[in-house]
Amino acid sequence: MNLPLLNKTAAILITSLLSIVAIMPQVEAAPPKPKVTSVELDLDAGKMVVTGRNFGTRKWQIGVLLHLAETGPVTLKVDSFTKLQPTEEVPVLLHQLVVSGLPQNIDDFAGMHLLEVRRKYKQLVNGVSVVKYKIGTRTVTIGAQGVGVSQTTIDAEGNLIVTLTNGTEINAGQVKDTSVVLELSKQSELFDYTGGTGSINIESNTDWEWEIDDFWITQSSLDFGLQNGNQIFTYEVAPLEGNVPREGSIIFTSTNGPRYEWYFTVRQEPRQ
């Protein structure tokens, strides 16, 4: 047997397999449709604050269009995307966008118009990665005082009720079941540039799952997929190269009945 030739053949085979893995498209399950719960307008600054659910995990995933009845859609710029941490009273993730790019003559478009929030994702169709969108909409009234969130409560059926400053109530869907427990021992952790290992105590009496949305954070204690009950979740943070700080998230979600959702935030600072 020619061992050098065998080793060379094996190396070529391994390289080919790695190449196949490298070019496999990144796909994901279809996400839920965005739900806009409130819109606040600052016409003087040409900006808009949009609050809701299921907007995504990254700013680049989100598109916002304002359909003006007179001229058609205007594509707005997403200046910032903030994840609002749940509370014991409202154990659900809310997202908030600050968008700009309203027409300078926006005052001329008094009346009701349609706001569209698009969440971009990829799915595999006949072996090809295809970009798709989930779309949520809400009417916006131009020429009226900006409407924001006054309070959020949960009704007897476990639905999140958002009360706006104009008195309007929006049912944002079922989010709470008093028999379900999913709690984290902490909400964030800070690492220096060397990275390291962290852990979170999960207290739960239900099934739950986890998701990491950043490549530099890896999970090292549990199998991917459905978990149950109390667990210690251990994760690894890679060393940080460069001088720009970074922030990532681990998302924990209960899967039985109404969903509890929690972000655990990982921050990393560069070398000083």
**Dihedral, CA atoms, 88, 191, 269, 99, nearest 10 degrees?**
-20
Q: Which range has the worst mean pLDDT, 43-52, 134-143, 163-172?
A: 163-172
71 within a domain of the structure (yes/no) = yes
pLDDT category at 171 given cuts 50, 70, 90 is low
Do 201 and 241 belong together in one domain?
yes
In this structure, the answer to whether residues 49 and 159 fall within a common structural domain is: yes
For β-strands 188-191 and 261-268, DSSP reports them as parallel
Residue pLDDT, tens place only, 156-166: 666 667 676 66
Statement to judge: residues 166 and 190 lie in one domain: no
User: From residue 245, how far is each of 30, 85, 157, 240 by CA, in Å?
Assistant: 31, 21, 42, 8
Q: pLDDT digit string (tens) for 55-72?
A: 877 777 898 988 887 777
Residue 26, Ramachandran bin (φ over 0: left; ψ between -120 and 50: alpha; else beta): beta
Same domain flag for 88 and 116: yes
> Is residue 23 classed as helix, strand or coil in its secondary structure?
helix
Q: Which among 143, 112, 133 has a CA at the least distance from the CA of 31? A: 133
Rg (CA), the chain: 23
Using CA of residue 153, residue 51, residue 73, residue 42, what is the dihedral sign? positive
- Which H helix or E strand runs over 258? none
Domain finish residue from 174, 191, 212: 174
Name the domain boundary from 148, 174, 200: 174
CATH of the domain at 255: 2.60.40.10
- Tokens linked to 204: 């739960």
- Whether residue 28 lies inside any domain: the answer is no
How many structural domains compose the chain? 2
CA distance 15 to 21: 10
DSSP letter at 106 equals G
Predicted local distance difference test score (pLDDT) of residue 240: 92
Residue ranges making up the domain that contains 72: 35-174
- Same domain assignment for residues 94 and 164: yes
pLDDT tens across 190-210, in order? Answer: 999 999 999 999 988 888 888
Residue 29 falls within a domain, yes or no? Answer: no
Same domain, 75 and 109: yes
Q: Does the structure show a pLDDT above 80 at 26?
A: no
Residue 81 resides in a domain: yes
Query: pLDDT grade, residue 54 (50/70/90)?
Result: confident
Question: Per-residue pLDDT for 130 more than 50?
Answer: yes
Q: Which of 61, 150, 145 is nearest to 97 (CA)?
A: 61
CB–CB of 185/198 below 8 Å? no
Q: How confident is the model at residue 10 (pLDDT cuts 50, 70, 90)?
A: very low
Last residue of a domain, one of 141, 174, 207: 174
Q: 78: closest CA among 114, 103, 107, 50?
A: 50
Q: What is the pLDDT of residue 184?
A: 86
pTM score of the predicted model: 0.52
With a cut of 70, say whether residue 13 has pLDDT above it. no
Are 140 and 255 within one domain? no
Residues 48 and 164 in one domain: yes
3-state DSSP assignment of residue 15: helix
- How much of the chain exceeds pLDDT 90, in percent? 11
Q: Which long-range contacts (CB under 8 A, 24 or more apart) does 129-133 make?
A: 129/25, 129/26, 129/27, 132/30, 133/63
Nearest of 154, 102, 159, 121 to residue 34 by alpha carbon: 121
Asked if pLDDT for residue 176 goes beyond 60, the answer is no
Specify whether the CB–CB gap between 126 and 43 falls below 8 A.
Answer: no
Assess whether 162 and 246 both reside in one domain.
no
Same domain for 201 and 154: no
Judge if 39 and 113 occupy the same domain. yes
